[in-house]
Structure 1
Amino acid sequence: MSKSLNRVLADAEARGLTLAPVRLEAGTLTAQAAADAVGTSADQIVKSIVLRSPDSGEHVLFLTAGGNYVCIDKAARVAGMALEKADAASIRAVTGFAIGGVSPFGHATPLRTWLDPKVMTYATVWAAAGTPHHVFEIAPPVLKRATGAAEADFTR
Structure 2
Amino acid sequence: MSTEHPSISRFRDEHERRGGTGEIVILPDSVHTAALAAEALGCEVGAIANSLLFDADGSPVLILTSGAHRVDTELVGASLGGRRLRRAKPEFVREHAGQVIGGVSPIGHPAPIPTYLDPWLQRHDTVWAAAGHPAAVFSTTYDELLDLTGGTPLDVAKD
* TM-score higher than 0.5: yes
**Counterpart for residue 139 of structure 1:** 141
Instruction: Give the letter aligned to residue 39 of structure 1.
Output: G
Q: CA deviation at 1:18?
A: 4.0
**Counterpart for residue 126 of structure 1:** 128
Matched-pair contact (CA < 8 Å) for 1:47–1:63: yes
- Mind listing any 5+ residue stretches in structure 1 that lack a counterpart? none
Matched-pair contact (CA < 8 Å) for 1:9–1:18: no
Is the aligned partner of 1:69 residue 2:70? yes
Cα shift readout 1:39-74 (whole Å, capped 9, x = no counterpart) = 0011111000111123xx110000000110001111
1:38 to 36, 41, 65: 41
Matched-pair contact (CA < 8 Å) for 1:68–1:155: yes
2:32 to 18, 29, 33: 29
**Counterpart for residue 17 of structure 1:** 20
The whole-number CA distance in structure 1 between the counterparts of 2:10 and 2:101 is 16
1:48 to 29, 46, 51: 51
**Counterpart for residue 98 of structure 1:** 100
Matched-pair contact (CA < 8 Å) for 1:26–1:33: no
Secondary structure of the residue aligned to 2:50 is strand
**Counterpart for residue 83 of structure 1:** 85
User: 16-25 or 29-38, which moves further after superposition?
Assistant: 16-25
**Counterpart for residue 109 of structure 2:** 107
The whole-number CA distance in structure 2 between the counterparts of 1:17 and 1:47 is 18
Q: CA deviation at 1:14?
A: 1.6
Moved segments of 4+, more than 2 Å: none
Q: TM-score, normalised on structure 1?
A: 0.94
Q: CA deviation at 1:19?
A: 4.1
Q: TM-score, normalised on structure 2?
A: 0.92
The whole-number CA distance in structure 2 between the counterparts of 1:78 and 1:91 is 22
Matched-pair contact (CA < 8 Å) for 2:21–2:140: no
